[in-house]
Amino acid sequence: MDTVSKAKRSEIMSRIRSRDTKPELALAEELRRAADPGLPFERDAGDVDGRPDFAFRQVRLAVFVDGCFFHGCPRHYKEPKSNVAFWRGKIARNRERDRQVRRRLNYLGWSVMRVWEHEVRRDPAAVAGRVLARARRAPGARAWFRTGSYAAMRRKARHGASAGLCGRAASRARMARAASAPPGVQTHCRAQNAAMAAVLARTGAIR
């Protein structure tokens, strides 16, 4: 028998999010940190069959982060003590839908990767590494890496990073010149220098 009332159980289940869960957000952060600039991904791709949590369109890889309860994780799924028949049927349908989505995406030339919620919670960086390794082996990876678009995206990312570093270096130089200026000029620039220092600290230019 369930330890809470039906109304309370319904309230608890309604709080479970289907999108932007903590594991999904943690994995997204790690993917952005480690991703290849020429291998972009998008979140919650609604126009891809099954609506994957992450889609690498250029190489045709769909990644799903499966909740341990709703997808019946073999390690962590615990069958509810109430409405047993309902939940057994629901979990079975979810698993069958997962299999159908995989078959349809495979037919369309996509590779499918599923990771468990508990894997991401334990080590999101390791899961991100597995996802990126899989992306580099996906069906469209070899063709994409040979395109001019891939090289252009990497060049653009490098140029953007270099421009940011140059901008921060110039800001530090202006602050240094202001510090060595006559007292009157220093007073005039004090507020501007403080604001600039705060910006540089937030961006990591001052540590």
Write down the domain spans for the chain: 6-146, 161-203
| Lowest mean per-residue pLDDT among 41-55, 86-100, 159-173 | 159-173
- What rounded mean pLDDT belongs to the chain? 78
3-state secondary structure the chain: CCCCCHHHHHHHHHCCCCCCCHHHHHHHHHHHHHCCCCCCCEECCCCCCCCCCEEEHHHCEEEEEECCCCCCCCCCCCCCCCCHHHHHHHHHHHHHHHHHHHHHHHHCCCEEEEEEHHHHHHCHHHHHHHHHHHHHCCCCHHHHHCCHHHHHHHHHHHHHHHHHHHHHHHHHHHHHHHHCCCHHHHHHHHHHHHHHHHHHHHHCCCC
The band of 5, judged by pLDDT with boundaries at 50, 70 and 90, is: low
| Position 68 pLDDT exceeds 50 | yes
Instruction: Quote the CATH superfamily of domain 6-146.
Output: VSR Endonuclease (3.40.960.10)
Does pTM surpass 0.85?
no
